[in-house]
Structure 1
Amino acid sequence: MHLSPNDPSTASTNAPDSPGARAATITRDWVCPFCPLLCDDLNAAVSSDGSLAVQDTECSRLAQALAHYGAADAQCASLIDGNDASLDNALEHAAQRLANARRPLFGGLATDVGGTRALYPLAAACGAILDHQHGDALTPATLALQDRGAFFTTLSEVRSRADLLVFFGCQPAQRYPRFFTRTLAGGEIEIARELVFVGGAADPAADGFAQARVETLLPDADPYDLLALWSALAEGRDAAALHGNGNGNAGSEANSVAEALAALHARILSARYTVVVYEPAALPAPHAALLIEALHRIVKAANRTTRAACLALGGDDGALSVNQTVTWLAGLPLRTRVATPARMAGTPPLDHDPYRYRTARLLAEREVDALLWIASFAPHAWPEALDPALPLIVLGHPALAPAAQARGANTVFIPAATPGIDSDGHLFRVDSSVVLPLTAARGAPLESVASVAAKLTTKLNAKLAASLTTQPTTREASR
């Protein structure tokens, strides 16, 4: 909802609802934390029973996320092996299990910037591996950036400048319902735009925007073949030379595809500003990084004579924020093991491996001996394949408590606040160039991930120090 210019409310203002209504509060210009678009034009209303609603929004994803919150959240207790426990006891048990672990994994990692900063020293103290629950979507984009570099843009640039948007193999509104509202509507100047969906069907949500013309190109083409040909054309190779003389049906079809792509690239070169939109999670595995590299290669070629950029749609559940934060703390992105030298003698303090440190592989090969699972934005449970005997520590949404209780043995659960709902925080937006502050709309008395991680670090360091003082020296041990 866009507030009127006369509305004096700000992003951090809590105001009572209208006279005569039930006790409730409204946070105006609230930033939604449930998708990386970080829509900041919303009004979040909290009822006296602890339920939340957002006024005047068409976002189905937000409505589904808010349905997980209720009055019982404030009474959610910590659990140790299926039994209620105090927070301090849960922290003690969690710290001891991390102290006992030789190779723990910090998975899920659905938290914000502050939560990540607090988890990092905890991971270093116990020599943990860091991987996000959306690591399989995040990693190809990281690999492409490392190998080839990239041209990125921002939502503001898309809205104010882009006259040609090319969507490769994705329908943005399926996962990000307000994408077109955020990028096409409400600009100061109406821009005539062309929206071309390549390698897939057009997104129905793209229809109905003023001065936007939607079309579909090669919806059934193989993405790898399509981008290989398009890349070659972007580098100036002749379409006819790429497929010979077009003898036979196969040759004619190939020439037809080449001609269509050549015409599209000519439009890119004549446009004022082209944005190529893709969704890493929607690209076919396991070689999505090759497709992302090709898209950026096409954009780089276009930038020799005009302006073009890519916009990657991803980073859900804090994935982008965690990756950015870990990168500036460690110098390496996610799927990295971090350790203090004292903890992992004889091994490097940092080790990045996007294949070896994949959560699914580590659990399947039983290469970790403890899992710390962080899920503060939604009740995403730990992997189903998790060995029941593996120690599990969950800092998560209160809705995960029943699953943690059902697992029983070898499980510590600590309910965690959701940034933007019950705690303040910060997240990186989908375009990775903007960090937005989150204001707690409800403020139930739940510990933030940052607070729990800091307390765990203190307790873990105390246990590690105590174990060092009680260990016999080499000479004593040999007697």
Structure 2
Amino acid sequence: MPAWVKGAATDIDAAIAAAADLLGAARMPVIAGLNAEVSAIRAAFDLAGRVGASLDTDGAAGTYAELGALARVGAMTSTPAEAVGRADAVLVLGSEPAKSELLGRIEAGAPTRGRAAGAARAILALDGANEGGVLPALARLRAHFRGHLADESPTAVLASKLAAAQYVVVLYDPAEIGEMGVETVQGLVTDLNDRTRAFSLAVSGGHRNQDRAVVPVSAWTTGQAPRVGLGRKVPEHDPWRFDAARQVAAGEADAALWLSSLPAPRPDWLGQVPSVALVGEASPDAAEVVIAVGVPGRDVGGVLWNETRGALTYWPAQAGGSAPADRPTAASVLGRLTNRLAARSGTAC
């Protein structure tokens, strides 16, 4: 199975030993990415408790934009199935939701359930290209809808179309529009519900979708959202303090483990500290210690976020994929690493 230490090919046992040396010598390691199946995410939290690491996710910008707005103003949300089955008007905010698989499913049909069944479906867009960005455009749309602005602009026409719809779904990417944008979306949805039915639905691009699996795992493991530190043996939640990029830039972190069994771009900061990479698409120069692991849903089975269902779903290995013996699961590698560190300290995990 592919593994490298400082660019030289080696076996899995030697790579795990080198990773244990690297993490065991660190005073403030970080475990980041967490683009992985649920079992690997759980194993990463176990390892963090062993080495006193903090944790951060690849999609944290979008996750915290949603969580911050949810804590202050709440949310009225729908599910992908409801959007496909009921919406006769879909408002696409910004550029990222237009790339989602969900929008393709919505565009392919018309509502089949509820009071909008059989009606034509309108796909409406608000990208903010001519209005200084999505957030100003969204604020202007809300002002038109509430009667605070009156003209015959395209935004006014859009507000009228939304008011005439029977079931509106607003698609947005929280990482693209930010925390204030998410709050404004929820305000718009509240306004729309004074006249019709309306809901929001967040969609995240590509590998960032897996953050939706990390949030519940973190909650049931630590009682906190994902950016937590375990350096003092109890979970401490702080979105600013445990931002991995900030920690490395400030010199606070002295080692890192990047977990990405699902293919995802590696961050620039990873090369600035001694690092270990557990990756589904491996290259010898990805980190000081690199271990290739099975890609969930392709090489090995695993529980992943299912955007189509809006839920966690088990994905089996594909026929013809690498056998687990050839590509170990990320969870098994993390478990062996945790046990090795526990054996060194002479205490049970």
TM-score by length of 1: 0.64
RMSD: 2.6
1:222-233 paired onto structure 2 within 5 Å: 222=132, 223-233=134-144
- The gaps in structure 1 that reach 5 residues or longer are 1-75, 201-218, 241-254, 468-479
1:113–1:325 CA contact under 8 A, matched in 2: yes
Counterpart of 2:282 (choices 400, 409, 423) is: 400
Instruction: Provide the secondary structure at the position in 1 that maps to 2:50.
Output: helix
Counterpart of 2:103 (choices 180, 184, 190) is: 180
Give the Cα–Cα distance (whole angstroms) in 2 for the partners of residues 169 and 187 of structure 1.
23
Question: Which has the larger displacement, 423-432 or 185-194?
Answer: 185-194
Question: Which has the larger displacement, 150-159 or 349-358?
Answer: 349-358
2:290 partner amino acid: F
1:129-140 paired onto structure 2 within 5 Å: 129-140=54-65
**Correspondence for 1:310:** 200
Give the Cα–Cα distance (whole angstroms) in 2 for the partners of residues 131 and 111 of structure 1.
13
Distance change in 2, residues 1:337/1:170 (3 Å): same
The answer as to 2:322 corresponding to 1:443 is yes
Give the Cα–Cα distance (whole angstroms) in 1 for the partners of residues 187 and 53 of structure 2.
36
TM-score by length of 2: 0.86
Instruction: Provide the secondary structure at the position in 1 that maps to 2:314.
Output: strand
Distance change in 2, residues 1:386/1:292 (3 Å): same
**Correspondence for 1:459:** 340
Give the Cα–Cα distance (whole angstroms) in 2 for the partners of residues 322 and 183 of structure 1.
27
Counterpart of 2:295 (choices 418, 422, 441) is: 418
The answer as to 2:73 corresponding to 1:148 is yes
Give the Cα–Cα distance (whole angstroms) in 1 for the partners of residues 307 and 216 of structure 2.
12
Distance change in 2, residues 1:147/1:431 (3 Å): farther
Distance change in 2, residues 1:433/1:376 (3 Å): same
The answer as to 2:266 corresponding to 1:381 is yes
Instruction: Provide the secondary structure at the position in 2 that maps to 1:414.
Output: strand
Aligned length: 336
Distance change in 2, residues 1:129/1:447 (3 Å): same
Instruction: Provide the secondary structure at the position in 2 that maps to 1:239.
Output: coil
The answer as to 2:249 corresponding to 1:364 is yes
Percent pairwise identity: 29
1:108–1:133 CA contact under 8 A, matched in 2: yes
Q: Following TM superposition, by how much is the alpha carbon of 1:385 offset from its aligned partner in structure 2, in angstroms?
A: 6.4
1:401 partner amino acid: S
Give the Cα–Cα distance (whole angstroms) in 1 for the partners of residues 309 and 120 of structure 2.
26
2:122 partner amino acid: E
1:300 partner amino acid: T
The answer as to 2:92 corresponding to 1:195 is no
Counterpart of 1:269 (choices 163, 166, 171) is: 163
1:312–1:431 CA contact under 8 A, matched in 2: no
Distance change in 2, residues 1:272/1:279 (3 Å): same
Q: Which has the larger radius of gyration?
A: 1
**Which deviations, in whole Å up to 9, do the C-alpha atoms of 1:226-266 show, x marking residues without a partner?**
333333455x45325xxxxxxxxxxxxxx555xx5454334
Q: Following TM superposition, by how much is the alpha carbon of 1:431 offset from its aligned partner in structure 2, in angstroms?
A: 7.0
**Correspondence for 1:329:** 221
Give the Cα–Cα distance (whole angstroms) in 1 for the partners of residues 167 and 21 of structure 2.
56
Q: Following TM superposition, by how much is the alpha carbon of 1:192 offset from its aligned partner in structure 2, in angstroms?
A: 0.9
- The gaps in structure 2 that reach 5 residues or longer are 113-117
